[in-house]
Amino acid sequence: MVQFDPEKLFRDLNVSIAAIQYMKLWGGTSSSVTRLSDVMRLAIAATYGYAYVDTDMVYLSLRAEYFLKRPNMAAPVWSDEGGALELQNSGFCFSLPQLQVLLEWVDRRIVSKGDDQDSYAYTELGPRAFHSVASQLGPISVYTTCHPLKGSFQDIKNQHMLHHFAWLHL
pLDDT at 83: 62
Pairing relation of β-strands 141-145 and 51-53?
unpaired
Give the confidence band of 18 by pLDDT, cuts at 50, 70, 90: very high
User: CA nearest 84: which of 136, 167, 149, 129?
Assistant: 149
% pLDDT > 70, the chain: 92
Which has the higher per-residue pLDDT, 12 or 32? 12
How far apart CA 167 and CA 57 sit, in angstroms, is: 7
DSSP lists the bridge partners of residue 88 as 74
How far apart CA 133 and CA 154 sit, in angstroms, is: 35
DSSP lists the bridge partners of residue 53 as 91
* Degrees, nearest 5: CA angle 146-149-152: 75
If DSSP codes are grouped into helix, strand and coil, which group holds residue 152? coil
DSSP lists the bridge partners of residue 79 as 84
Answer yes or no: is pLDDT of 79 > 70: no
Question: What's the predicted TM-score (pTM) here?
Answer: 0.87
pLDDT, tens digit (0-9, with 9 covering 90-100), for 110-162: 999 999 998 898 889 999 999 899 889 999 988 888 766 666 778 778 877 77
pLDDT at 81: 57
Phi, psi of 136 (to 5 degrees): -90, -5
